[in-house]
Amino acid sequence: MESSSNPGPPGLLASATTMSLNVFDYLERLPPDALDKLYGAAPPAADGQGGRSHGQWTCRALLQSLPQLAKQHVMRLLFVEGPVGKGMLKSWVKKEYQRVHAASVRKLVSLRVLLPSAGGQEYQLNPPFRENLQRALCASDKTPWQGDVPLSADRSPPTVAKIERQMHSQWQDVLYFLVGSDEEGRSTPPARVVKFMEESGLMRPVRGRGALRITDKGYEFMLKEAHVQAWMVVHALINGYGRTQPGCRDELLAFLFQLSYCKVGDAYPLGALTQTQRDLAQDFVELGLLFKRKAKSTRFYPTSIAVNLIFGSSPSGDAGGAGGGGTQRKPQPAGGLGGGKREDDTSIHIIVETNFQVIAYTRSKLHFAMLSLFLELRALLPNAIVGAITRESMRKALSTGIKGRQVLDFLKWHAHPVVRRRTPVVPENIADQVLLWERERDRMEHRDGVLVDVSYASRDAFRGMTEFANAKQGLLWSSPLGGEDEEGGGGGGGSGSGSSGGGLAGRKKLMVVSPGIVESLNAAIVENGWTSSF
């Protein structure tokens, strides 16, 4: 009996267990010295331009991201220089909230905000974190790079609407290229971005042709929320820089934290950045995350997605860039980064009916390509797409690596404003059926095995073989004891009409074992006198 295993597709750019969905999860995976540098223990490498300490912005952002009780612990310890006993920390929390307290302490320790000592019986704030958080909360600076490098007045500053339109257009170019759309007026992303898509596994070359085609990882990427998309791209860029320029990761992360306190529409000097940060900023310009009026411009303008890159998908509900003058916005759905007012061209509003019909009001070919991933398209109107969720369309989507939950989330994120008022947004029968269709693919488990026929062995010998195989964790299946030997306790009657194992299995002694134990089973048969050949 032979079969091949069929594991699920890996997660985007990394497995699901290693890919961090936001920057704060990413920080927990960093080594201690890297965290200390981020908190200001040592400034990032400079190139002569100078600049204020980056640590205060990192510490300020981290404080905003923490759970409420963890924030309370940090604020109580902020001006305490010595260690505090474990019992003292526990005394600050009521008895019924001790589990929440323990989770908060674990979180702070994992981020090296709290440093344990005396065998875990005492804690104190990490000195660089404490000093820079004090500076951040007491300083008058509202935005990063304030006064670092003087900027002359921009004679024709871009409006916020223009910045957002440019961001939207450039990100749409990336997504159009990813799905292989050839819509007129769309430009090919820069060569660096195309190379990134191929190296990250979002696209792969077509054999015999130079073109690139979207992969299952790319399909997964398309259906994710936009801030998750942006963070995944930035995550991969930072890792790429880290491979070519060891030690630069701290500079790049510091740049992200500083961006989260910028304001959309305001100009910031490129001269205040290190060379590595300027390189990353240029990547952001090409992706549409930052705006520059000219290629040689000495200033940049953050977009809403760049400002919200740190907090856009943060699990902490009250975290946000608005605390430092930033522009905090609600995370936007996939398919665009939420800027601009070109509702007729870039918006999509979906209505899911209980009869599995889906109506999507949109004019975008990108949305058409995205919907075709999991819908059976039936009509294409000037301002709408009509389709249906069918078993076959879902099986096609699932075979590319898309998950049922991703489809449902996509339908919720893009729901028509009228539909959003109802609960649930996606009818329950649709949601249940999509998940059931997904489970259909997991009803059978494929495992390699070897069929062993020992029908001529005695009942005791057969029992010994199955017990041996089971002890080796290699017994996949065996026919019930009984069959032609009418000794008590058998699974089948003397008539040989069969038992739960079926007619043939009721008359024969069969077992299926893992290939890895065949040799040891054969040796055990010889050693114990169980005659067999297979």
Reply yes or no on whether the pLDDT at 455 is more than 50. yes
Q: For residue 184, what pLDDT is reported? A: 62
Percentage of the chain beyond pLDDT 90 is 33
Reply yes or no on whether the pLDDT at 326 is more than 50. no
Confidence of residue 105 (pLDDT cuts 50, 70, 90): very high
Q: For residue 311, what pLDDT is reported? A: 82
pLDDT per residue over 263-309, tens digit each?
A: 998 999 998 899 999 999 998 998 889 999 888 888 999 998 888 88
Mean pLDDT calculated for residue range 354-372: 90
CB 255 within 8 A of CB 289: no
Reply yes or no on whether the pLDDT at 48 is more than 60. no
What whole-number distance in Å separates Cα of residue 369 and Cα of residue 124? 54
Q: For residue 228, what pLDDT is reported? A: 79
Mean pLDDT calculated for residue range 178-198: 74
What whole-number distance in Å separates Cα of residue 395 and Cα of residue 186? 31
Structure tokens at 105: 């302490």
Q: For residue 240, what pLDDT is reported? A: 81
Q: Which residue intervals of 29-67 are DSSP H helices?
A: 32-38, 55-65
Confidence of residue 364 (pLDDT cuts 50, 70, 90): confident
Nearest Cα residue to 379 out of 401, 395, 357, 394: 357
pTM over the 0.85 mark? no
Q: For the chain, list the domains and their CATH numbers.
A: 27-42+51-138 (1.10.10), 160-308 (no CATH), 349-442 (no CATH), 446-479+507-533 (3.30.70)
The amino acid occupying position 27 is L
> Does residue 185 come out as left (phi exceeding 0), alpha (psi in the -120 to 50 range) or beta?
left
What whole-number distance in Å separates Cα of residue 155 and Cα of residue 195? 36
Q: For residue 77, what pLDDT is reported? A: 94
Q: For residue 42, what pLDDT is reported? A: 61
Q: For residue 84, what pLDDT is reported? A: 92
Q: For residue 47, what pLDDT is reported? A: 42
Pick 494 or 334 by higher pLDDT: 334
Q: For residue 454, what pLDDT is reported? A: 83
* Burial status of residue 492 (CB atoms within 10 A of its CB: 0-12, 13-18, 19 or more): buried
Q: What is the DSSP letter of 403?
A: -
Consecutive H or E run containing 451: strand 450-453
257 phi and psi, to 5 degrees?
-65, -40
CB 351 within 8 A of CB 419: yes
Give first-to-last CA distance, the chain, whole Å.
Answer: 13
CB neighbourhood size of 403 (10 A): 17
Mean pLDDT calculated for residue range 486-514: 51
Nearest Cα residue to 179 out of 208, 221, 210, 233: 221
Q: For residue 214, what pLDDT is reported? A: 82
pLDDT per residue over 106-147, tens digit each?
A: 999 999 999 998 788 999 999 999 999 999 998 877 788 877
Q: For residue 195, what pLDDT is reported? A: 79
Mean pLDDT calculated for residue range 19-23: 64
CB 414 within 8 A of CB 349: yes
Task: Kindly list the distances between the CA atom of residue 233 and the CA atoms of 11, 15, 85, 240, 473, in Å, as whole numbers in the listed order.
Answer: 13, 15, 42, 11, 43
Reply yes or no on whether the pLDDT at 152 is more than 70. yes
**Which residue's structure tokens are 């870039």?**
346
Percentage of the chain beyond pLDDT 70 is 80
What whole-number distance in Å separates Cα of residue 59 and Cα of residue 222? 33
Reply yes or no on whether the pLDDT at 436 is more than 90. yes
Q: Which residues pair with 205 in a beta bridge?
A: 212
